[in-house]
Amino acid sequence: MATSDAVKDPADKGKLKLIILIAVAVLLAMGVSVGATWYFMKSASQDSAPVDPASGVKLPAIYEAMSPAFVVNFNANGRQRYMQVSMSLQARDQNDLNALKVHMPVIRNNLVMLFSGQSFDDLATPVGQEMLRQKATASVQEVAQKELGKVVIDQVLFTNFVLQ
């Protein structure tokens, strides 16, 4: 009996090592993907800021709070969970921002749909929250591009983020 146990142990250890190796590779790939997405989104938002034609200087940021805060409920592991997010839009041109406000019902609808489609467990991590912020920015920019012909918004900022 001792001989058969000794024969099974190396095979089990080999399978365990293979599973661990695959799990580490998947986590590493996810990390690289998230990091690359964050890097490119961050550099794209900084490079796209409008410049004052007279001075060549980047225009100052303007912030517009989105009220009321967004509240989304989740069913996570059989428990009712909630997320509350307060947001502000960062722009550079007040006239463009005013023009975008006309489309706020579409923007809010798209954001509610985006938020409610998220996994509660993903949102419990800083990386998940940053990815959601970037998706929210892209969602607002998409509406602005469609309706106004330009992205208008540099980024969406989460000014309050509560998970319960």
Taking phi over 0 as left and psi of -120 to 50 as alpha, with beta for the rest, 155 belongs to beta
The span from the CA of 48 to the CA of 155, in Å, is 11
Is the CB of residue 158 less than 8 Å from the CB of residue 133? yes
Q: What are the tens digits of pLDDT across the range 24-75?
A: 877 777 777 777 666 666 655 555 566 766 777 888 999 999 999 999 999 8
Indicate whether 36 belongs to any domain.
Answer: no
Q: What are the tens digits of pLDDT across the range 98-143?
A: 999 999 999 999 999 999 999 999 999 999 999 999 999 999 999 9
Indicate whether 55 belongs to any domain.
Answer: no
Q: Which two tokens stand for residue 120?
A: 């509660």
Indicate whether 83 belongs to any domain.
Answer: yes
How many domains, in total, are found in the chain?
1
Domain range for residue 90? 62-163
Indicate whether 141 belongs to any domain.
Answer: yes
Indicate whether 120 belongs to any domain.
Answer: yes
Q: What is the pTM of this model?
A: 0.68
Indicate whether 126 belongs to any domain.
Answer: yes
